Structure 1
Amino acid sequence: MTDTPEDLDAWVAELASALGLDPAGVPTGLLLDLTRDAAHGVMRPAGPLTTYLVGLAVARGIPPEDAVATARAAIERHRHAE
């Protein structure tokens, strides 16, 4: 498999479908940007864990954009606390 945006879209669609989710509802760019921000703003392993926690919050009814905004605010607080 190559590393193209089309390949990523295909993977997201495949996994979302396997999980019983609508692939169209996956905010891929928003989540990738958040993962990058956490990995660089906190530490590398924080990237996927942050995204996972945002996913849990969304599953509990928080809109994705709000959950990401909350996570980004926490990342900024962490950066300034160092």
Structure 2
Amino acid sequence: MTLVEWAEAVRRELELADTDPLGKEDVDRVLDLARDAAHSVARPAAPLTTYLLGIAVGRGADPDRAAAALSRLALDQKDES
């Protein structure tokens, strides 16, 4: 099962039929953000940060802009260490 297929299975399980399916670019965006948070802040920051991204997007934030802002925030933490 690919991650895109997994995302679709999760979307069905959560009864999110009224939302757009996730494509590879969506999965890559989340994984890139998770990587930046895990490597620049702490490993547990990865799921927390991606969860908060999901809340922001659910409230209308642009996924690309929000993920980019959070990646910059995480990478800035690494630079400050």
User: How high is the TM-score relative to the length of structure 1?
Assistant: 0.81
Report the secondary structure of 2:22's partner residue: helix
- Partner in structure 1 of residue 8 of structure 2: 13
Distance across 1 between alignment mates of 2:23 and 2:13: 14
> Could you list the per-position Cα deviations for residues 8-46 of structure 1 after superposition, in whole angstroms to 9, with x for gaps in the alignment?
222111111222133236700110111011101110000
Distance across 1 between alignment mates of 2:76 and 2:3: 31
Aligned-residue sequence identity (percent) comes to: 42
Report the secondary structure of 1:61's partner residue: coil
List gaps (5 residues or longer) in structure 1.
Answer: 1-5
Q: Give the alignment of 1:1-82 within 5 angstroms.
A: 6-19=1-14, 20=16, 21-24=19-22, 27-82=26-81
> Could you list the per-position Cα deviations for residues 38-79 of structure 1 after superposition, in whole angstroms to 9, with x for gaps in the alignment?
101110000010001111111111100011011012112211
The 8 Å contact of residues 16 and 22 in structure 1, kept in 2 or not, is answered as no
Higher relative contact order (CA 8 A, sep 6+): 2
User: How high is the TM-score relative to the length of structure 2?
Assistant: 0.82
List gaps (5 residues or longer) in structure 2.
Answer: none
